[in-house]
Every structure is written in structure tokens, then in C-alpha cells.
């Protein structure tokens, strides 16, 4: 009788957390090497293909807490990476834009990120890569309601 599979190795939440952490950590080392805060990278990447999101909308993507994101965005503005503009239609909201400086930074990192992803996925066929991503996308949209 061989040992049963340990709980965590068959537990989806654990497999996701572990693979997520392993994949991210490798790349985050590269981000840190450029001197950038990892959270800044996540925020810039989330804004990279369409800024002008409100804080809440951005938060739905980056999945921080609202106060955490609020403070990060304020810091990033003070460092010249983002700009915050009060909403015209709804004056409670703050719309967030990438500055040229932030854009330059994120563009460099996007290229590195794609390169890193290619490395991670090198052993998989294109079909397999898409299968994995599709399953994750399905999971996400199911959980978002």
C-alpha cells in the first residue's frame, strides 16, 4: 500500500497558489532588479492596455484591497508614474492614467514578461498552452459571476 496523495497536492486552491507563486516569483526577481516595486509592476501592467480606469475598476483587476491600492496609486503619482484625475461625470471617482514615464517603464517590462512566459511554457505545445489558459480563464469568469 503506497501513501495516499497528500491533501494539498490534490487541492486545487493549493495547486493554484503554489504555481502562481512560483511563476510570479521568478519574474518578480527581474522586476526588482530594475528597481521597481512589484506592486507597481502589477498596477502598470493592468493599466497597460487601457488606462483611465477608476480606482475601483483597477482594483477589480489587480485584486488588492481598496485602501492598499489607494495608497499605492498615490505614491505612484508622487513618483511620476501615474496621474489621477477626478471623474467628470461622477466626481467621487478618480480616473487613473499612465504618464509617459510610467509608460516607458511598463513597456520594457511587458517585453520581459512575455519573454519570461515563453520560457516557462517552452515545454508545452501551443495547443497545451492555450488549453491551460482557457481553463484558467473559464475558472475566473465562473468565479467572478
Partner DNA sequence: CAAATATATATTCCATTTCATATATTATAA
Partner DNA sequence: TTATAATATATGAAATGGAATATATATTTG
Lateral strand order in the sheet of 53-54:
53-54, 94-98, 82-86
Q: Residues 40, 43, 46, 53: which binds its own copies (CB under 8 A)?
A: 46
49 binds, among its own copies, DNA, none (CB under 5 to 8 A by kind): its own copies
- 4 binds its own copies per the rule CB under 8 A: yes
Alpha-carbon gap, residue 22 to 97, rounded angstroms: 30
- Which residues bind to DNA, rule: CB under 7 A? 37, 39, 54-56, 59, 64-68, 70-74, 84, 87, 89-94
| DSSP-assigned letter for residue 125 | -
Alpha-carbon gap, residue 110 to 36, rounded angstroms: 13
Per-residue binding letters, 59-98, with its own copies (x by CB under 8 A): --x-x-----------------------------------
Q: Which of residues 6-25 bind its own copies (CB under 8 A)?
A: 6-24
Alpha-carbon gap, residue 9 to 15, rounded angstroms: 7
Amino acid at each position: 500500500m503506497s501513501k495516499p496523495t497528500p491533501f494539498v497536492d490534490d487541492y486545487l486552491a493549493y495547486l493554484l497558489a503554489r504555481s502562481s507563486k512560483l511563476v510570479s516569483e521568478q519574474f518578480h526577481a527581474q522586476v526588482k532588479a530594475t528597481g521597481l516595486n512589484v506592486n507597481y509592476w502589477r498596477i502598470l501592467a493592468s493599466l497597460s492596455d487601457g488606462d483611465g480606469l477608476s480606482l475601483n475598476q483597477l482594483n477589480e483587476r489587480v485584486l488588492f484591497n481598496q485602501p492598499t491600492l489607494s495608497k499605492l496609486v498615490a505614491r505612484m503619482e508622487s513618483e511620476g508614474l501615474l496621474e489621477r484625475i477626478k471623474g467628470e461625470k461622477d466626481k467621487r471617482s478618480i480616473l487613473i492614467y499612465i504618464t509617459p514615464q510610467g509608460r516607458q517603464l511598463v513597456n520594457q517590462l511587458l517585453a520581459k514578461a512575455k519573454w519570461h512566459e515563453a520560457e516557462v511554457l517552452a515545454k508545452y505545445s501551443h495547443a497545451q498552452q492555450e488549453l491551460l489558459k482557457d481553463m484558467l480563464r473559464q475558472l475566473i469568469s465562473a468565479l467572478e459571476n
